[in-house]
Amino acid sequence: MSQFVVLLKKELLESWRNFKWIWMPLTFILLGVMDPITQNYLPKILDTMGDLPEGAVIQLPVPSAEEVISMSLANIDMLGILILVLASMGIIAGERKSGVAAMILVKPVSHHYFVMSKWLSSLLLMWISLFLGLLASWYYTGLLFEFIPFSDFLLSFVLYGIWLSLVITITIFYNAFLKTPGLVGFISLATIIILNMVSGILTEWLAWSPARLMSYASQSLMQDGLPENTIASIVLTVLIMIVLLFTSVFIFRKKELAV
């Protein structure tokens, strides 16, 4: 276990030196803050900048606080996932390419710990960044529109965080058997987009799909209690994560022997 702690510390130190701990939270905060601000100022901007004839009246419906926060969620769902995948696409593949992984694994280091430490450190960074980003969105929505209960915010944060955890696990999984970081990023994104699209179209059949967690997260803002099928979706997501992690350790060990 102490070996795991050492590896985890090494990972955290490395992502600190890469400035990941600075730019990732800041980026998520920017993503979260953007929607409340633009939604609030959009009518005013249209008023002054828009080339409208005199007397034209545009009535934009004022979105509710819950709607603004779910817009932030949707924003993070597009750009946040892109950033997460790009940031973690080289996490094992890059080290293998440069030979660092071989240098570490030549020592009696468990492959389990090696992969798990990378997984956990990315997960930690993601959860903290996501929390700060959504917290900023919640606070700004509160200032500019109205405050929604903090517990509602926490619920949607956790639901959404579980989906992003799967995104990271998928990236780590591809990392285990592909050597080129770019390829890892591309295939991970493709997998996530296909998953998203298919479960977006077949909402009835794939109600328990992990990709639905995003819409459950925003639904949970609008209504009381958990949306239907949320629990099934969470359970399935966690199961897939466990399976993916174990398979990636397995594949990684085989690949490592072959190289």
Sign of the alpha-carbon torsion through 78, 204, 163, 195: negative
30 binds other proteins (CB under 8 A): yes
Q: How many residues bind other proteins (CB under 8 A)?
A: 28
Residue 216, phi-psi category: left (phi > 0), alpha (psi -120 to 50), beta (remainder): alpha
Q: Which of 114, 140, 160, 173 binds other proteins (CB under 8 A)?
A: 140
Question: Shortest distance, CB of residue 100 to other proteins, whole angstroms?
Answer: 7
Stretch binding other proteins (CB under 8 A), from 41-49, 106-114, 116-124, 197-205: 41-49
Q: Which of 98, 203, 223, 247 binds other proteins (CB under 8 A)?
A: 98
Q: Which of 48, 57, 60, 257 binds other proteins (CB under 8 A)?
A: 48
Q: Which of residues 151-170 bind other proteins (CB under 8 A)?
A: none
Question: Shortest distance, CB of residue 49 to other proteins, whole angstroms?
Answer: 8
198 binds other proteins (CB under 8 A): no
Q: Which of 83, 162, 192, 234 binds other proteins (CB under 8 A)?
A: 83
Sorted by sequence, the CB contacts under 8 Å of residue 24 that are 6+ apart come out as 83, 87, 125, 126, 129
CB-side neighbour CA atoms (13 Å) of 112: 5
68/241 Cα distance (integer angstroms): 30
Closest CA to 160 of 83, 84, 89, 220: 220
Question: Shortest distance, CB of residue 178 to other proteins, whole angstroms?
Answer: 16
Output the six-digit token pair for 107.
Answer: 């020592």
